[in-house]
């Protein structure tokens, strides 16, 4: 846990959200500035800045993040139409919040250009 991290504050329920899923090691909640009809963030409860800090011990939780994204995509009705899963890492990767998170984006045709 990092005291001044906004996602840690959401995990500690110090900042409000509307959880989509919560379990022992993951939390999923809507992005506050959605870029598509479906825009959900999946975060590990353990604070790590990004994939650079993820080690072998974190492989199971990384896998669960992907599985949960697919499950939420299905629950939100975009599994068949398609969706994007993105993890931004570092400044040039476009990362604004320094707590590892996965974006699940869908519900519209997304630009094929990634960068
Ligand atoms: P990134 O650029 O990958 O670090 O994305 C950070 C994302 O977090 C952005 O899409 C923000 O809109 C989102 N965000 C920031 N603060 C909050 C918050 N309090 N609740 C939900 N989403 C947030
Ligand atoms: Zn954090």
Q: How far apart are CA 74 and CA 84, in angstroms?
A: 13
Residue 87 CA, ligand 2 centroid: distance in Å: 15
**109 phi/psi in degrees, rounded to 5:** -75, 120
Residue 42 lies in a domain: yes
Residue 1 lies in a domain: no
Residue 46 lies in a domain: yes
Q: How far apart are CA 48 and CA 50, in angstroms?
A: 6
Residue 71 lies in a domain: yes
In this predicted model, what pLDDT tens digit does every residue of 41-76 receive, in sequence order? 999 999 999 999 999 999 999 999 999 999 999 999
pLDDT of 1: 72
Q: How far apart are CA 45 and CA 23, in angstroms?
A: 9
Q: How far apart are CA 9 and CA 15, in angstroms?
A: 5
Residue 12 lies in a domain: yes
pLDDT of 50: 98
Region 84-102: what's the mean pLDDT? Answer: 98
Q: Specify the number of domains making up the chain.
A: 1
Q: How far apart are CA 80 and CA 13, in angstroms?
A: 33
State what percent of residues in the chain have pLDDT above 90: 97
Task: Decide whether any atom of ligand 1 lies within 6 Å of the 19 Cβ.
Answer: no
Residue 40 CA, ligand 2 centroid: distance in Å: 17
């Amino acid at each position: 846990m990092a005291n001044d991290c906004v996602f840690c504050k959401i995990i500690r329920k110090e900042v409000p959200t509307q959880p989509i899923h919560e379990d022992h090691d993951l939390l999923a909640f809507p992005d506050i500035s959605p870029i598509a009809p479906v825009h959900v963030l999946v975060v590990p409860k353990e604070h790590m800045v990004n994939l650079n800090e993820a080690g072998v011990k974190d492989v199971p939780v990384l896998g669960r993040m992907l599985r949960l994204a697919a499950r939420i995509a299905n629950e939100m009705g975009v599994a068949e139409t398609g969706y994007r899963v993105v993890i931004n890492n570092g400044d040039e990767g476009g990362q604004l919040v320094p707590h590892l998170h996965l974006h699940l984006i869908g519900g519209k045709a997304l630009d094929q250009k990634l960068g």
